[in-house]
């Protein structure tokens, strides 16, 4: 039974809308409240696509299987509805929004969660933003910069984590958030995630990564290996260790045949 699952993916098949080739070819994945799952796998295996299909990217079309979030059919919801329900994706490639400050962007995101006749309290918002930036060791002036415009790779990733810290999701999909971060930045990001989990022990994380390193700071309950659009192996943290040592060669041999 998956009753307790926060995210339940079953037999998910997905492709780029209107194209024949399937990128996801039957993915099964269950995450329970408070769990951390890591997904590893070679470039092009479909990790980002899985995250984007869960978050509702319109470029992809699910052609089979199901995705439920707390028992609700996620595939039936718009991306903003999924966000408001508690799904958050930290993008592998965050998008630039020129002329829109991070503060304005987050304020609009929070305002969108309120009823039409409700106004976000600006003082409360300012306080929340400042507190979250402190948590992530960010300079307050960062919030005045236009979203991702002219940001370094590391700044973009930290901006994603700031958004997550402000929006407080119950399921965070983190797509290669650790790529391009130096060890100090990585520790700050990991600490941010861990603090959020302390605040909300039921928060679940799906962590997509190429490197075992981040898993020393955010300890996973499960590690999955994705290969050619399927999860081909699942286990504990030791799976990540083994991958680090051996690479994906054995999967290649097994799946090319």
Partner 1 sequence: MPTNEVIQGLGLDDYKFGFVTDSEPVFRTRPGLDAEIVRQISARKDEPEWMLKRRLKALGIYDAKPMPDWGGDLSELQETLDQTYFYVKPQEQMERSWDDVPENIKQTFERLGIPEAERKLLAGVGAQYDSEMVYHSLKEEWESKGVIFDSIEDGLRNHPELFRKHFGTVIPAADNKFAALNSAVWSGGSFVYIPPGVELETPLQAYFRVNQERLGQFERTLIIADEGSRAHYIEGCTAPVYSTDSFHSGVIEIIVNRDAFFRYTTIQNWSNNMYNLVTQRARVHRGAHMEWLDGNLGSKLTMKYPSCYLMEEGAHGEIMSIAYAGDGQHQDTGGKVIHVAPNTSSSIVSKSISKGTGRSSYRGLCKVYDGATNAKSNVECDALLINETSRTDTFPYIEIDERSASVGHEATVSKVGDEQLFYLMSRGMDEAEAMALIVRGFIEPIAKELPLEYAVELNRLIELEMEGSVG
Kindly state the DSSP code that residue 146 receives in the 8-state scheme: B
Note whether 82 binds partner 1 by CB under 8 A.
yes
- Identify the residue among 24, 55, 143, 190 touching partner 1 (CB under 8 A): 55
Note whether 159 binds ligand ADP by CB under 6 A.
no
Return the residues of window 31-60 that contact ligand ADP according to CB under 6 A: 41, 43-49, 59
Q: Cβ closer to partner 1: 36 or 51? A: 51
Supply the minimum distance, in Å, between the C-beta of residue 63 and ligand ADP.
Answer: 14
Distance, C-alpha 139 to centroid of its chain: 24
CB atoms within 10 A of CB 29: 21
What token pair was written down for 30?
Answer: 């269950």
What token pair was written down for 209?
Answer: 């990564």
Cα R_g (the chain), whole angstroms: 18
CA gap 240, 29 in Å, rounded: 17
Return the residues of window 62-101 that contact Mg ion according to CB under 5 A: 92
CA gap 69, 5 in Å, rounded: 8
Task: Give yes or no for a contact between 110 and 88, defined as CB atoms under 8 angstroms apart.
Answer: no
Closest CA to 182 of 141, 206, 213: 213
Supply the minimum distance, in Å, between the C-beta of residue 51 and ligand ADP.
Answer: 8
Q: Cβ closer to partner 1: 125 or 248? A: 125
Return the residues of window 6-35 that contact ligand ADP according to CB under 6 A: 16, 23
Supply the minimum distance, in Å, between the C-beta of residue 92 and ligand ADP.
Answer: 7
- Identify the residue among 62, 100, 120, 135 touching partner 1 (CB under 8 A): 100
Note whether 48 binds Mg ion by CB under 5 A.
yes
Supply the minimum distance, in Å, between the C-beta of residue 101 and ligand ADP.
Answer: 29
Q: What are the φ and ψ backbone dihedral angles of 84, each rounded to 5 degrees? A: -70, -25
CA gap 102, 186 in Å, rounded: 21
Task: Give yes or no for a contact between 199 and 164, defined as CB atoms under 8 angstroms apart.
Answer: no
Q: What are the φ and ψ backbone dihedral angles of 146, each rounded to 5 degrees? A: -65, 140
Note whether 177 binds ligand ADP by CB under 6 A.
no
Contacting positions for ligand ADP (CB under 6 A):
16, 23, 41, 43-49, 59
**Interface ranges with partner 1 (CB under 8 A):** 55-59, 78-80, 82-84, 88-89, 91, 94-100, 104-106, 108-110, 112-113, 116, 146, 163, 167
Positions touching Mg ion (CB under 5 A) are 48, 92
């Amino acid at each position: 039974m998956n009753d307790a699952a926060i995210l339940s993916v079953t037999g998910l098949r997905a492709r780029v809308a209107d194209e024949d080739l399937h990128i996801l070819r039957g993915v099964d994945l269950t995450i329970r409240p408070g769990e951390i799952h890591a997904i590893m796998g070679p470039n092009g295996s479909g990790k980002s696509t899985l995250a984007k299909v869960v978050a509702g990217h319109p470029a992809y079309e699910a052609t089979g299987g199901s995705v439920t979030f707390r028992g609700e059919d996620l595939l039936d919801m718009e991306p903003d509805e999924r966000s408001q329900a508690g799904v958050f994706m930290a993008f592998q490639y965050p998008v630039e929004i020129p002329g829109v400050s991070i503060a304005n962007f987050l304020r609009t995101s929070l305002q969108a969660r309120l009823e039409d006749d409700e106004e976000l309290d600006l003082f409360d918002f300012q306080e929340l933003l400042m507190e979250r930036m402190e948590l992530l060791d960010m300079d307050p002036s960062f919030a005045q910069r236009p979203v991702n415009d002219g940001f370094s790779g590391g700044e973009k990733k930290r901006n994603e984590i700031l958004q997550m810290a402000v929006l407080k999701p119950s399921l965070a999909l983190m797509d290669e958030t650790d790529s391009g971060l130096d060890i100090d930045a990585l520790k700050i990001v990991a600490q941010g995630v861990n603090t959020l989990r302390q605040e909300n022990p039921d928060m679940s994380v799906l962590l997509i990564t190429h490197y075992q390193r981040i898993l020393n700071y955010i300890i996973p309950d499960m590690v999955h290996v994705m290969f050619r659009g399927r999860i081909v192996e699942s286990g504990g943290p030791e799976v990540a260790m083994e991958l680090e040592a051996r690479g994906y060669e054995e999967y290649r041999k097994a799946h090319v045949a």
